[in-house]
Structure 1
C-alpha cells in the first residue's frame, strides 16, 4: 500500500531513470467524474437519477428530459474555493485557491406528439424532448505546499538509486541522474563506480510547492421519449474534453558532506531546485442510456448506464534540476536545460451504472437517493498511432489491475417547498478506488444545501457544496520505502447559481 501511494501520487509522468512512464495515476484522475448539474440538484447532494425535469438530465439520466412539459434554458456559474492542509515531518501548512467557472449551461426543446382528434393525449407516446448542454464534471484545481527538516534521508538518495548500474560516462545527456552528478549532489563509490551515495547532509530542509489546474467537461446531445406520462426513455452522446496541468518545485538545502576528493563542493551549503511541469490534454466520446418509471405519482424509479469514455491523450512532461552553493567566500550556480518528454496514448475509462429512487411526501416534500457502481480496475490503456510503446502500455495496464478496484458511490437529498421557495440539503460519498484501502482513506465526502425561488416562467437557485478528500504524497521515492510522506486534506467549498427560463 505504501509503495502504491508514493508512486502514484508523486505524479511524475516520465520520471527519468524509471523503467517505464507511469500514467495510471492520471488515468484514475480522469476516471473520477461526477455529474455536472444545476444548483437545484447540487443542493440535493447530486441525487438526480430518478428525478428528471431539470437541465441536469442532459449530463445525468437523459430519460429525465422526458418529464419536461415546456422548452427551457438555464445557466449555472460557480465559484470554487479550495484549501489544502498538509502535514509533513511534523510541520503543518495551509494553502488556498479560488476561481470562477461555468459549471453548466443548456437548452431543452419540448415537442408534443400530434395525435388524431379524440385520441387520449396521455396514452402512448406523449412527447419527444431534445437537449443540448455543457457540463463541467470535474475540477482539478488546487494549491498545496509542505515542508520540514528531514533527519533520515535526502532527495539525493533517490538520485543515487536511479544512477546505480551506470558509470558517470554512461549517463544520458540531460538525464536527472546526470544533472545530480554534475551538480555534485551524488558521488560514485571508490570501490565501484556504478554505485552511488548522496553527498548531502541529513537534517536538511525540504520544501515542496505545487499548483494544479484543469477540468473534465462534456458537450451533451440528448433526447428522451415520454410514454403515457409513466415511462421515460432517454439517450445521450457526450463529447468529452480533458485538461490537467501541474507545476511543482521541490527545494532542499543543507551541506555538502562528500568524502570523494573529486567533489569540489565539499563543506559548502547547497540549495537545490527540482522543477516538474506536466500538461495533459484529452478528447473523447461516451454515451448514456436511461429510464425513469413512475409506478405512482408519488414514486419515481430511475436507472442509467454510462459507457466508458474513449479518450485520446497527449502528454507533455518536463523536469530540470539546478543547484546553488554558498560558503568560503564564493557562490557557485549549476543550471541545466529543461528536459521535455512527450507521449500519446488512448485511454478507456470505466463504465458507470446508476440506480435512483425518489418519493414525494404530502405534495411539499421530496426525498431522493442514488447509488453508482464504478469498476476502476477496468481502466485500460492502448497505443496510439503515433506512439507504439507496448511495454509502457502493458505495464500501466498491469498497475491498474494491481492497484485499483471497484467502488460504490451514493447520494441522498431532500427538498421542502414553501410557496414559491424551496429548501434543500444533501449528502454524498464516493467510495475509494484504491485496492486494500481498508480504512477508506481515499473516500470523498460531500455536503450540500440550497435555496430555490420560482416566479412565473423564471427560476433562480443557489447551492453550497463542500467536498472533503484525503491523500498521501511524497516528494521522491526510495527502494526501501523510507522516504517521507505528506498527509494532505483537501476541502473544496463551491457556490453554484442557476438562472433559468421556460418558454
Structure 2
C-alpha cells in the first residue's frame, strides 16, 4: 500500500501517527515488579491490584488486603543509521511506576449464597514517553535554497524527532468471588497524557559549512490530554489446576488539547495556535489461560487483540486523512504475554516474555537512497515495528511485607521517515528556519534499533 502525497500534505506530521499508536492507543502496562517480571501476564491468575491492567475479575481472586508501590528506572537507547553513519541516543529516568491496593471483604456465608468475597481495587500505572531519534546526515542529499546563487546550496546534515512526556492510567474496580470457582469484575480507567514533540531538520552550507536548523510547520507542539475507558472480565476454574479468563476494555475516549508553533502565515506571520481533537482508541479483548500446579508454581498466558482501529473525530481534512490512513494501513494490534512464578519457601523466582505485532502493513514511499537518488521503496516496518520483551525477577516474602525486583529488556527495529514537507496550495508542511524555507516531496529514511532496559523495585504490605 503506498502513502499518497495528499495524505502527508494534509495530515502534517509523521510524529502524530507514531504518537497515535504509542501514546494514545497502547494501554500503559507498567505494573509491580512481579507483574513486569512475568511479562505483564496475569489475566487468569489475578490476586492483586494489577489485575486492573489486564482483567478486573482478578480482583475477586484475592482473599486478603494488599498495598504496594513500585519504583521504575527506565533506560532507553536508539541507534539510528543512514548512509554508513550511526547516531546514538540514550537516557535513563527514574519515576514512580505503579501504586496499587486491594481491600478484601469476606461475605457472611449462608446455605443460600455461594459468594465468598467482594473486593475493591485501585491501581495507578505511569509510563514515560521520552524518546529521541537522531538521524545522521547524508552529503549526497543536496538542497538548493537559491536557483541563481550557488553559495546557498546545502547538504542534509541530520534530523531529530524529540518527544518528552508520560502517560498514566488510574483504575478503580470491583471483583467478586463465587464459590472459589468463578470470578467476575469491572473497572473504570482514567488516562492522562503529556507530550512535547519536536521535529528538527539540519542543513549544512556547502561553502561555509555552517549548519542551519529548521522546524517543521506546526511544530513544536504540546499536547495535554485526558481520556476514560471501562473494562469487564471473568475468570473460571475448569479444575483446581486450570483457569480460563476473558476481558474486554472499551475504547479510550480522548480529549487532546494542543498548542503549536506555526510559521509564515499570510495574516499572522510566526505565532502560536491552539486546537482540540477528539480521539477514540481501539476496543481491546484479552483471553487468558493459567496453570497452577501447586502453591509453588504457576504459569499464565494472555493474548490481547485490538478489535477496532484508531479514529479521530473529523473537524477538517487533516483528521479525515488520518482516519483514511489508519483504515487502509493499520493492522489490528495483537500481543502475546507469557509469565511464570516458582516459589522456594519464601523466595520467588519469575520470568516472562511478550511479543507485540507491528501496527502497520507494508508501506511504500518515495525516498532518497544513500547516493541521494530518489525512488519508491517498500518498507515492512515503517514508523513502528513488532516488539519483543524478555523479563526476569526475584522476590522475598516476609509474611506481612514483601520485596520484589525485576528487569525488562525490550527491543524493536523500524525504518524512520523524515524530511518530507512542502507548500501545496493551502497546505503547508515545509520546514522553516528564521530566514529560509526548506521543501522536499521525498523522504530520507534512517534505520532505528531501539533498546529499553527497565528495572523495577516493589515494596508491599499484606493485611
Of residues 411-420 and 336-345 in structure 1, the stretch that sits farther from structure 2 once superposed is: 336-345
- The corresponding residue for 2:260 is 317
What is the CA deviation profile of residues 66-115 of structure 1, one whole-angstrom value per residue up to 9, with x for unaligned ones? 01111111111100010111102210111101111111112211111123
Report how far residue 296 of structure 1 moved. 1.5
- Corresponding position: 1:140 with 2:129: yes
C-alpha contact (below 8 Å) 2:183/2:234 kept by paired residues: yes
C-alpha contact (below 8 Å) 1:3/1:481 kept by paired residues: no
Shift in alpha-carbon separation, 1:273–1:455, aligned structure 2, 3 A: same
Of residues 463-472 and 479-488 in structure 1, the stretch that sits farther from structure 2 once superposed is: 479-488
Return the alpha-carbon distance in structure 2 between the equivalents of residues 398 and 210 of structure 1: 24
- Corresponding position: 1:306 with 2:238: no
> Helix, strand or coil: the match of 1:151?
strand
* Length-normalised TM-score, structure 2: 0.83
Report how far residue 212 of structure 1 moved. 1.8
C-alpha contact (below 8 Å) 2:419/2:442 kept by paired residues: no
Runs of 5+ consecutive residues of structure 1 not aligned to the other structure: 9-14, 157-184, 190-196, 256-266, 322-335, 384-388
C-alpha contact (below 8 Å) 1:76/1:102 kept by paired residues: yes
What is the CA deviation profile of residues 220-278 of structure 1, one whole-angstrom value per residue up to 9, with x for unaligned ones? 110011000010000000111112112343221123xxxxxxxxxxx666532113422
C-alpha contact (below 8 Å) 1:423/1:450 kept by paired residues: yes
Return the alpha-carbon distance in structure 1 between the equivalents of residues 251 and 287 of structure 2: 17
Report how far residue 316 of structure 1 moved. 2.1
- The corresponding residue for 1:293 is 236
Return the alpha-carbon distance in structure 2 between the equivalents of residues 240 and 422 of structure 1: 32
C-alpha contact (below 8 Å) 2:284/2:305 kept by paired residues: yes
> Helix, strand or coil: the match of 1:63?
helix
Report how far residue 447 of structure 1 moved. 0.6
- Corresponding position: 1:414 with 2:340: yes
- The corresponding residue for 2:19 is 26
- The corresponding residue for 2:285 is 353
**1:71-150 pair list within 5 angstroms:** 71-116=65-110, 119=111, 124-136=114-126, 138-150=127-139
Return the alpha-carbon distance in structure 2 between the equivalents of residues 288 and 489 of structure 1: 34
What is the CA deviation profile of residues 302-343 of structure 1, one whole-angstrom value per residue up to 9, with x for unaligned ones? 11101000011112222669xxxxxxxxxxxxxx98543322
Runs of 5+ consecutive residues of structure 2 not aligned to the other structure: 364-378, 423-439
**Equivalent position to 1:215, from 166, 169, 173:** 166
Report how far residue 405 of structure 1 moved. 1.6
What is the CA deviation profile of residues 272-306 of structure 1, one whole-angstrom value per residue up to 9, with x for unaligned ones? 21134221121111001011111222111111101
Report how far residue 407 of structure 1 moved. 2.6
Shift in alpha-carbon separation, 1:112–1:253, aligned structure 2, 3 A: same
| Alignment: residue pair count | 420
- The corresponding residue for 2:375 is none
- The corresponding residue for 2:366 is none
**1:45-444 pair list within 5 angstroms:** 45-116=39-110, 119=111, 124-136=114-126, 138-154=127-143, 185-187=145-147, 200-201=152-153, 204-255=155-206, 270-275=210-215, 276-318=219-261, 338-375=270-307, 378-383=309-314, 389-436=315-362, 439=380, 442-444=385-387
- The corresponding residue for 1:486 is 446
> Helix, strand or coil: the match of 2:42?
coil
Report how far residue 371 of structure 1 moved. 0.6
Report how far residue 419 of structure 1 moved. 0.8
C-alpha contact (below 8 Å) 1:36/1:56 kept by paired residues: no
- Corresponding position: 1:36 with 2:30: yes
Of residues 31-40 and 58-67 in structure 1, the stretch that sits farther from structure 2 once superposed is: 31-40
- Corresponding position: 1:496 with 2:456: yes
Report how far residue 20 of structure 1 moved. 4.6
Report how far residue 199 of structure 1 moved. 7.5
Return the alpha-carbon distance in structure 2 between the equivalents of residues 419 and 356 of structure 1: 27
Aligned-CA RMSD value: 2.8
* Length-normalised TM-score, structure 1: 0.77
Of residues 445-454 and 270-279 in structure 1, the stretch that sits farther from structure 2 once superposed is: 270-279
Report how far residue 414 of structure 1 moved. 1.7
Shift in alpha-carbon separation, 1:199–1:315, aligned structure 2, 3 A: farther
- The corresponding residue for 1:474 is 417
Report how far residue 205 of structure 1 moved. 5.0
C-alpha contact (below 8 Å) 2:385/2:414 kept by paired residues: yes
> Helix, strand or coil: the match of 2:333?
strand
Of residues 57-66 and 244-253 in structure 1, the stretch that sits farther from structure 2 once superposed is: 244-253
What is the CA deviation profile of residues 27-70 of structure 1, one whole-angstrom value per residue up to 9, with x for unaligned ones? 22310234232111111111111111122113321111101111
Report how far residue 143 of structure 1 moved. 2.9
Greater strand content: 2
